[in-house]
Amino acid sequence: MPYKHVLAVYDGTDLSKEVLEMVCRFLRPERGRMTILVLRVLPLSAGLPTYQPGADPEADAMVREAEQLADRCGIKAASSVRYARSMGLAVVSEARLHGADLLALAVPDLGRFTDEQRWHANLRAILRDTTCALMLLRPGRA
């Protein structure tokens, strides 16, 4: 079943770059669309701004990098930057908002992750609440 619209979560890591490349490989022949989500999780003490290009240099850099990667792969991608308190709920919400039929994201090696419990909670929220197909990429074992 070909996917028409994929939401790919991008955080600048090598693993999230692999996710974008994988999505591009199977979207290109199907001429599907991709939205790249740059998600910035902020602490409760910080306000949740609306993204404005030029106001957040780190987010701007990630958007440029992800769009250039998609362009090199032959996919014209739209970008979305979102600030949130929780990754899981924000990702599910964005997938619904954009009408994605596939959500693609990288999952770190939870055995080596310093904030393992928060990641487990986010992953449970994504698995429980997502209404589209889900592609998870995790690092290979050495």
- CATH homologous superfamily of 5-137 equals HUPs (3.40.50.620)
SS3 of 92, please?
helix
Task: Judge contact between 61 and 98, C-beta under 8 A.
Answer: no
Average pLDDT over the chain reads 87
Q: What is the pTM of this model?
A: 0.87
Residue extents of the structural domains in the chain: 5-137
What is the per-residue pLDDT across 68-108, written as a single tens digit (0 to 9) for each? 999 998 888 999 999 998 889 999 999 999 999 999 999 87
Task: Give the closest residue to 34 by CA, choosing from 99, 117, 89, 92.
Answer: 99
**Rounded mean pLDDT, 11-22:** 91
pLDDT level of residue 113 (50, 70, 90 thresholds): low
Burial category of 68 from C-beta neighbours within 10 Å (exposed 0-12, middle 13-18, buried 19 and up): exposed
